Chains A and B, each alone.
Chain A
Amino acid sequence: MKPVFMTYTKKDLINLAVCMVLSVLVIPTFITTEYWYTSILIPWLCLALATIGQQVVMGYTGQLALGAAGFMAAGAFAMFNLILRVPDLGFVGSLIVSGLIAAAFGILFGLPSLKVRGIYLMVATLASQFFIIWMIDKFGWFKNYDSSGIITAQDIVILGKPFTTPLAMYFVCLAVTTVLTLLAMNMARGSTGRNWMAVRDMDIAAESMGVSLLKTKVQAFAISAFYCGVAGALFAFCYLKSLEPVAFDIKLSFKILFMCILGGLGTINGAFIGAAFILLFPVLLNAIGNNVFHGAIDATIISSIEQVIFGGLMIIFMIYEPLGMAKLWENIKQKLSLKLQSSNNKDLKSSLSKKS
């Protein structure tokens, strides 16, 4: 299809319009309970953003990385310190700068990717996860010498207006996520994304075609960490409303990895699908536990079952559809349109035969 605006085709613009109408008009008018905003929609947007970061480095560039939560922590604490110490920057400015700070970490810990790949790289990125959390934990300056360990996040103020209600925070997350998602789609489709994918498919071949491995890999890690950093800042300020290093432990990294893989490697919409699934599934499971079994099943058992199901799904997807739910969705759409076409053809044939 021919692009209408930048790299976006007509279909993309229609999709965007539908999503915007849904998220700006439909959701705020129909969903009035705070629970949905504070516990589902806001974390969904934040984690989807982090998952896009993971997608850039893992899905598009093919580098196994497992440190998303570390970069999120870097972004969140950078945000806290920027608002505290450089108030002139404003919320949006701080958000961008904290993303850039996370990107700097991304470049630093992405450098080993030039030498190693696969599981070796995974171990190298684990270093970033543990190092960043440790650094924040041990140097009091990052936490403004707060001894309690949990710091309350400052209120969000944009252009003098406070954004403190769940709905307002939802809009903040929505705006940031929308802008960054569009940017990511643009990058993924442009020459940047083509370089990423060339490196993913065969780095040596890509290099011999004139793609600079250094530039492409470092760029992917920087962009990935930027997305994770911004997502982490939003996650802390809009969802947790507090900052503690423990919230960004290795478990969150694994969660984002699962969102990325189950959603579909190398797709942007997969990030949203994956994040929605990983967030909503436990809610559903708890609801079943409470309503069908009336709390007869212990909550710890439910969370264990949830873990078994996530792991099992991961195996099943790896065996049957390594490209994840996004591809599944794609297949369903294709089958439907084929069916529609064939039924149209039948109608045509029958009408033709009637005529003759």
Chain B
Amino acid sequence: MVDELLFFMEVVVGGLLAGTMYSLVALGFVLIFKASATFNFSQGAMVFFSVLAFCGFMQDFNIPFVLAFILAALLMVVVGLCTERLVLRPLMNASEDTVLMATIGLGYVLEGLAQAAWGVEVRRLDLGIGDFPVPWIADNLKLFISALDIFAGLVAALMIIGLFLLFKYTKIGLGLRAVADDAGAASSIGIPLKHIMLLVWSAAGVVALVAGCMWGARAGVQFALVDLALKALPVLIIGGFSSIPGAIVGGLIIGATEKVLEVYIGPFFGGAIEGWAPYVLAIFFLLYRPEGLFGEKIIRRV
């Protein structure tokens, strides 16, 4: 009985920590949605693009780890700048759906560019943190929890606290929230819309890079990262599109549920239900709470 309980605990904790990895991806979506009310479908592609660039700098040009990370982050700022100039500004007054489709296009561009520049083969990314159980926890608590999972959890927590403080207590954060609420009104009282957009897209790019590093260290840097990033969508639906705490709670819920379902119900159906379980969970959430756990209520005017 104790063993079963321990095993269940292990599954849940492993799921929760894996869920923080989804949260990291979802965080990038939330940042952009919060500040510009546009849904950036290319976030998954940004994850792939940034981490592939990071790997490329390290492995092809032998640039040291820290410098390569900074270079990749700068590259994401450039991507943000180009996106703001070339995609968002011309679409300033377009409908939500139009912008969404344009970001799907942007995702394609980024995926293609990344593969054209750094090739299609799977790259290994070594962060210096192993993806194996921490011996200390395994000995004392009898739980097998990967060190990488714990590290990802810590990074996610730090980033979320940082962003939360930024949004809540700084002048920039206030500007961001004002722009999200009503871009026209915000710009009319003198909030520099362009700078805000650039800032947000760069921040989302850096978040994508961090998320990409975590995923890359676990699953290898490869195209499948884009599909994995799609799982951030149900996370967002559960947590709410405009809530930073929502992104983390949604990620935890998805991570834990998906693992528990896979371990306890999966075997009856031949496994691999992880592939669709998060989406079905999201549908149920949509039916009862379309705005998500922490989202603002959706009000549509006729």
Contacts and interface: CB of A to CB of B under 8 A. Distances in A.
A138 B270 contact: yes
A288 to B, nearest CB: 15
B108 A308 contact: yes
Contacts of A116: 286, 290
Contacts of A306: 112
A201 to B, nearest CB: 11
A312 B109 contact: yes
Given A304-B113, A315-B109, A120 B237 contact: yes
B86 A315 contact: yes
Interface residues of A, number: 44
Nearest to B286: A116
Interface stretch (A7-15, A126-134, A212-220): A126-134
Contact of A311 (B97, B105, B119): B105
Contacts of B106: 311, 315
Quick one: which of B41, B112, B286 has the most chain A CB within 10 A? B112
Contacts of B287: 112, 115
Contacts of A313: 105
Interface residues of B, number: 50
Contacts, number: 133
Interface string B95-139: 011111110111111111101100110000000000000000000
Among B91, B97, B111, which residue has the most Cβ atoms of chain A within 10 A?
Answer: B97
Contacts of B269: 138
B101 A314 contact: yes
A300 B115 CA distance: 8
B65 interface: no
A54 to B, nearest CB: 13
A319 B230 CA distance: 25
Q: Give the 7 A-B residue pairs with the shortest CB-CB distance, closest first.
A: A311-B108, A314-B105, A307-B112, A127-B279, A308-B112, A311-B109, A130-B276
Interface of A: 62, 64, 112, 115-116, 118-120, 122-124, 126-127, 130-131, 134, 137-139, 202, 204-205, 250, 254, 257, 261, 300-301, 303-315, 318-319, 322
9 contacts: A126-B233, A130-B276, A204-B302, A300-B115, A304-B113, A304-B115, A308-B109, A314-B108, A318-B94
Given A127-B280, A311-B112, A314-B101, 6 more contacts: A122-B233, A138-B269, A301-B115, A315-B109, A318-B102, A319-B87
